[in-house]
């Protein structure tokens, strides 16, 4: 079945002409003709076409089409006489009773429309509220908040929306060019009455019209009906909210165009001034670009519609082109109030430059200018900065400020080469193991704070000699692929270097497994292979890699520690993540045991308390600049550790926090209890081997008592294992 509508409009009355009724009928007809929203077949009768006989025949035709929905709209003169309401057809205003009898209209609707069809009368003439519809049982004026629907036996749907009550007059507005009722009707049909699904129903239609007249004292629209269910007149319309969003989008597009022009004009002016370009022009252009880039980023994040708008994309591309030009860093430019020096290196995400600032030397990592359009990669680059910012650790390169233009960040300048370019030290087992243990403990610290590096490789470890020149200190950097445990979206990009990436990174980069601690454990195993052998491992080639590993270990380490080191590499390199060590703590514990085995003390020697403390310190932090001092600090510098005797057979290890901000503004009793619960969790599995006692030092101190310790290297390893887990719990707060 189809949908039919009749629209009648008469202005040309002999004695009382009107001005807008024909325009009203045409406007309503045009809306109902719209194929994507209403899709009615519409007949229009205007002026002399709208005789009484013509109206009757048109109504009869409209109702007899077997239609699922019929709409009849009248605009002109009407009158409510003692014997019934009439619509004044063309030429009948002198004798309205000879017009179209609206009682007849009611009977035609009742007799000629088919069951379950919908008939909607829209009447914009004086006293139109006197008209009834349907079987006459529902003849009540109602407000939209108290709509009374009376269902017929056959579930017919008959609805009347009239411009005014039976004693009121329907007004025109010459300024608008429409009747007041029809103006509201046009707005409602046009989308103002659309619900959240984009549908216009008879109830939402009347609700909007009624709200338009709530301040009127002269005209009150009327709703009548015999109705069951809902009558949907149109669908797929844009709601008011959608219109407002569209207007907001257009506003943002206009602003985007203005910002793009502003930036381009400023950059062009700076380029022309070649004398001052390096000294002031480039930096001034970058500072002009920064708020504009942040504005674009915010708009793209807030609205997908804005981000996908073609004109917005054109403006964005123009801004990216200007930013790309400004991101071409070269020696001599002033960036962030510092002069760019030599180029230090380059990687998959950016180039590292030396900066000479008033406060000393810094390094700056700038994102590749040719990839500024890769929004996800640029965001990953920014995440790397915040990962390093979050990790306050002496062996993680400290970062300072993030720059929007040129896209990059500043960090400490580390005087040294990366691990690949570092002079190979594979002939010194103690040094190699200590370097690996430091890197391992650094990764363990990151994991405790919920950060996974995901790109552990020689290029991302910088080697710097200590002030004495006797040992090398590794610094972990480049967290571009870092994954935060608080993140809500898995990404499929940036796999890491193929030699060092875990199988799950290569095979299923978007999986949860590719963002777990096991990824770093695998990569650390391959880094361990490189440090020992001086060559890259073959990707996923465990069996092939064991040959050069065994060969090297056989030349610089004894049988037992060599075998343990080989097995640790095999465990870290397992293809299945669940078969690898569960945490970096387990890897660190095993490395410390191996390091002790190749230490200076022969097996079986009984250690003094001082020697025990020295070996414990060496196993945890290597050689210390504070040699000979009883107390030492954890690798992160956040915990102080001191050893003392406990009777004749035991030792007490005191751990206290060196974090001045720990627990500021908290209830210290509750804070201590929470920290003590963490310690208890860490030592629970060790049974009577260790017990906890409360300390007194502020802000927090705990005593770990080992009543029956073995005063040999074996005992040092056992205590180190417990102490490592306790420090993990305390420093991850």
Q: What is the pLDDT of residues 302-338, one digit of tens each?
A: 888 899 899 999 999 999 999 999 999 889 999 988 9
**Burial (CB count <10 Å: 0-12, 13-18, 19+), residue 686:** middle
Residue 642 · residue 609 · CB < 8 Å: no
231 with 246, same domain?
no
Average pLDDT (286-308) is 90
- Residue 128: band (very low, low, confident or very high) from pLDDT cuts 50, 70, 90: very high
**Rounded (10°) CA dihedral 272, 276, 277, 282:** -120
Residue 684 inside a domain? The answer is yes
- Residue 66: band (very low, low, confident or very high) from pLDDT cuts 50, 70, 90: low
**Burial (CB count <10 Å: 0-12, 13-18, 19+), residue 304:** exposed
- Residue 33: band (very low, low, confident or very high) from pLDDT cuts 50, 70, 90: very high
Q: What are the distances in angstroms from CA 377 to CA 297, 298, 516?
A: 14, 17, 20
Q: What pLDDT was estimated at residue 155?
A: 43
- Residue 550: strand pairing partners: none
Give 65's contacts (C-beta < 8 A, 6+ positions apart): 2, 4, 41
Tens of pLDDT, residue by residue over 440-462, are 989 988 888 888 888 899 988 98
CA gap 586, 594 in Å, rounded: 13
Residue 313 inside a domain? The answer is yes
63 with 189, same domain?
yes
Output DSSP code: residue 672: H
Tens of pLDDT, residue by residue over 193-220, are 988 888 999 999 999 999 999 887 789 9
170 with 24, same domain?
yes
In the sheet that 472-476 helps form, which strands lie side by side, from edge to edge? 417-418, 461-465, 472-476
Geometric angle at alpha carbon 146, from 145 and 152, rounded to 5°: 130
Output DSSP code: residue 396: B
CATH of the domain at 432: 1.10.510.10
Average pLDDT (592-596) is 86
CATH of the domain at 682: 3.30.1460
Residue 593 inside a domain? The answer is yes
The first and second tokens of residue 573, run together, are 């390199």
Q: How many CB atoms lie within 10 A of CB 691?
A: 14
**Structural domain ending residue among the three candidates 238, 265, 293:** 238
**Structural domain ending residue among the three candidates 597, 617, 649:** 597
Q: What pLDDT was estimated at residue 674?
A: 87
Residue 182 inside a domain? The answer is yes
Q: What are the distances in angstroms from CA 552 to CA 132, 290, 424, 524, 628?
A: 102, 52, 13, 18, 34
Q: How many CB atoms lie within 10 A of CB 701?
A: 18
Q: How many CB atoms lie within 10 A of CB 394?
A: 16
- Residue 118: strand pairing partners: 69, 157
The 10 Å CB-count burial string (b at 16+, else e) for 67-81 is: bebbbbbbbbbbbbe
Q: Is 337 helix (H, G, I), strand (E, B) or coil?
A: coil
Q: What pLDDT was estimated at residue 187?
A: 92
- Residue 664: band (very low, low, confident or very high) from pLDDT cuts 50, 70, 90: low
Q: What are the distances in angstroms from CA 172 to CA 222, 618, 663?
A: 17, 95, 73
How do strand 69-75 and strand 3-9 relate by DSSP bridges? parallel
Give 432's contacts (C-beta < 8 A, 6+ positions apart): 425, 426, 531, 532
Nearest one of 149, 2, 135 to 65, comparing CA atoms: 2
- Which three-class secondary structure string do you get for 237-276? CCCHHHHHHHHHHHHHHHHHHHHHHHHHHHHHHHHHCCCC
592 with 656, same domain?
no
DSSP output for 577-601: GGGS-SSHHHHHHHHHHHHHHTSSS
- Residue 640: strand pairing partners: 633, 656
Tens of pLDDT, residue by residue over 714-726, are 888 899 999 999 9
How do strand 200-201 and strand 232-234 relate by DSSP bridges? antiparallel
Output DSSP code: residue 460: G
Average pLDDT (361-370) is 90
Top pLDDT among 55 and 665 is at 55
249 with 230, same domain?
no
Query: H or E element: which one contains 201?
Result: strand 200-201
495 with 629, same domain?
no
Q: What pLDDT was estimated at residue 325?
A: 92
- Residue 474: strand pairing partners: 463
Q: How many CB atoms lie within 10 A of CB 154?
A: 11
Nearest one of 710, 731, 728 to 719, comparing CA atoms: 710
Residue 682 · residue 729 · CB < 8 Å: yes
Q: In degrees rounded to 5, what are phi and psi of residue 215?
A: -95, 0
Report H helices in 156-238.
180-187, 202-212
229 with 251, same domain?
no
Top pLDDT among 269 and 137 is at 269
202 with 286, same domain?
no
**Structural domain ending residue among the three candidates 544, 575, 597:** 597
Give 82's contacts (C-beta < 8 A, 6+ positions apart): none
End-to-end CA distance of the chain: 70
Query: In whole numbers, what is the pLDDT of the chain averaged over residues?
Result: 84
Average pLDDT (1-7) is 87
Nearest one of 29, 19, 14, 162 to 88, comparing CA atoms: 14
- Which three-class secondary structure string do you get for 12-42? CCCCCCCCCHHHHHHHHHHHHHCCCCCCCEE
Geometric angle at alpha carbon 622, from 628 and 611, rounded to 5°: 45
Q: In degrees rounded to 5, what are phi and psi of residue 449?
A: -100, 15
Residue 21 · residue 76 · CB < 8 Å: yes
CA gap 96, 704 in Å, rounded: 106
124 with 71, same domain?
yes
CATH of the domain at 14: 3.40.50.1460
Q: Is 666 helix (H, G, I), strand (E, B) or coil?
A: coil
Q: Is the pTM of this model over 0.75?
A: no
CA gap 40, 580 in Å, rounded: 69
Q: How many CB atoms lie within 10 A of CB 449?
A: 16
How do strand 360-367 and strand 461-465 relate by DSSP bridges? unpaired
Residue 409 inside a domain? The answer is no
451 with 589, same domain?
yes
Query: 304: left (phi > 0), else alpha (psi -120 to 50), else beta?
Result: alpha
The first and second tokens of residue 385, run together, are 């900065």
CA gap 700, 506 in Å, rounded: 44
What is the total count of domains within the chain? 4
267 with 190, same domain?
no
- Looking up tokens 């270990």 gives 553
- Residue 94: band (very low, low, confident or very high) from pLDDT cuts 50, 70, 90: low
Containing domain of residue 201, as a range? 3-238
303 with 443, same domain?
no
CA gap 587, 599 in Å, rounded: 18
The first and second tokens of residue 284, run together, are 């001034």
The first and second tokens of residue 90, run together, are 């063309």
Is 281 a residue whose pLDDT tops 50? yes
Is 71 a residue whose pLDDT tops 80? yes
Residue 713 inside a domain? The answer is yes
CA gap 353, 425 in Å, rounded: 27
Residue 667 inside a domain? The answer is yes
Report H helices in 327-405.
375-390
CA gap 452, 491 in Å, rounded: 14
Output DSSP code: residue 191: I
Q: What pLDDT was estimated at residue 667?
A: 67
Is 494 a residue whose pLDDT tops 50? no
Residue 336 inside a domain? The answer is no
């Amino acid at each position: 079945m189809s949908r039919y509508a009749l629209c009648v409009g008469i202005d040309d009355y002999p004695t009382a002409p009107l001005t807008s009724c024909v325009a009203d009928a045409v406007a309503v007809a045009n809306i109902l003709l719209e194929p994507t929203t209403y899709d009615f077949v519409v007949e229009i009768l205007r002026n002399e076409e709208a005789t009484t006989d013509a109206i009757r025949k048109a109504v009869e035709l409209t109702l007899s089409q077997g239609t699922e929905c019929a709409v009849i709209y009248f605009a002109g003169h009407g009158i409510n006489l003692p014997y019934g309401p009439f619509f004044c057809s063309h030429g009948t205003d002198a004798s309205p009773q000879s017009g179209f009898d609206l009682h007849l209209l009611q009977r035609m609707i009742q007799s000629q429309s088919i069951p379950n069809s919908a008939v909607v009368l829209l009447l914009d003439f004086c006293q139109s509220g006197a008209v009834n519809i349907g079987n006459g049982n529902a003849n009540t004026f109602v407000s939209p908040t108290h709509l009374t629907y009376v269902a017929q036996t056959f579930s017919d749907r008959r609805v009347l929306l009239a411009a005014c009550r039976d004693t009121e007059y329907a007004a025109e507005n010459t300024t608008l060019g429409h009747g007041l009722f029809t103006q509201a009707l046009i707005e409602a049909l046009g989308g103002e009455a659309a619900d959240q699904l984009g549908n216009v129903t008879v109830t939402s239609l009347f609700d909007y019209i009624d709200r338009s007249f709530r301040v009127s004292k002269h005209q009150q629209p009327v709703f009548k009906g015999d109705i069951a269910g809902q009558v949907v007149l149109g669908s797929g319309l844009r709601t008011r909210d959608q219109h407002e969003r569209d207007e907001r989008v257009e506003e943002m597009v206009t602003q985007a165009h203005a910002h793009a022009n502003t930036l381009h004009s400023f950059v062009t002016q700076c380029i022309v001034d070649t004398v001052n370009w390096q000294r002031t022009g480039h930096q001034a252009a970058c500072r002009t670009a920064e708020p504009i880039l942040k504005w674009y980023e915010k708009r793209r994040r807030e609205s997908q519609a804005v981000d996908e708008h073609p004109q917005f994309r054109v403006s964005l591309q123009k801004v990216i082109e200007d930013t790309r030009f400004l991101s071409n860093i070269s020696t001599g430019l002033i960036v962030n109030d510092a002069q760019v020096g030599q180029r230090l290196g380059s990687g998959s995400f950016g180039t590292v430059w030396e900066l000479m600032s008033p406060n000393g030397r810094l390094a700056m990592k700038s994102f590749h200018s040719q990839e500024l359009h890769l929004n996800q990669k640029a965001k990953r680059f920014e995440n790397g900065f915040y990962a390093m910012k979050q990790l306050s650790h002496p062996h993680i390169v400290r970062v300072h400020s993030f720059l929007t233009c040129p896209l990059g960040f500043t960090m400490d300048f580390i005087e040294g080469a990366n691990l690949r370019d570092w002079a190979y030290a594979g002939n010194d087992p103690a040094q190699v193991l200590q370097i690996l243990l430091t890197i391992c403990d650094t990764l363990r610290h990151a994991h405790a704070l919920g950060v996974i590096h995901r790109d552990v490789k020689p290029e991302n470890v910088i080697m710097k000699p200590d002030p004495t020149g006797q040992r090398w200190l590794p610094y972990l950097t480049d967290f571009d692929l870092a994954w935060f445990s608080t993140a809500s979206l898995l990404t499929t990009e940036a796999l890491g270097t193929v030699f060092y990436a875990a199988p799950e990174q290569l095979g299923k980069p978007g999986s949860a497994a590719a963002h777990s601690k096991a990824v770093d454990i695998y990569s650390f195993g391959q880094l361990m292979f490189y440090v020992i052998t001086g060559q890259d491992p073959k990707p996923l080639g465990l069996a092939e890699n064991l040959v050069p590993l065994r060969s090297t270990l056989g030349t610089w380490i004894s049988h037992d520690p060599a075998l343990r080191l080989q097995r640790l590499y095999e465990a870290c390199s397992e293809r299945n993540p669940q078969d690898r060590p569960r945490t970096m703590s387990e890897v660190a514990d095993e490395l410390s045991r191996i390091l002790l085995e190749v230490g200076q003390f022969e097996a079986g020697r009984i250690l003094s308390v001082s020697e025990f403390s020295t070996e414990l310190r060496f196993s945890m932090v290597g050689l210390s600049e504070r040699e000979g001092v009883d107390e030492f600090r954890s690798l992160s510098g956040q915990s102080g550790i001191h050893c003392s005797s406990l009777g004749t057979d035991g030792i007490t290890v005191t751990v206290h926090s060196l974090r001045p901000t720990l627990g500021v503004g908290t209830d210290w009793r509750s804070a201590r209890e929470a920290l003590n619960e963490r310690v208890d969790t860490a030592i629970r599995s060790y049974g009577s081997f260790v017990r906890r006692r409360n300390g007194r030092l502020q802000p927090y101190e705990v005593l770990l008592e080992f009543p029956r310790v073995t005063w040999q290297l074996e005992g040092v390893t056992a205590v180190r294992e417990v102490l490592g887990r306790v420090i993990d719990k305390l420093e991850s707060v």
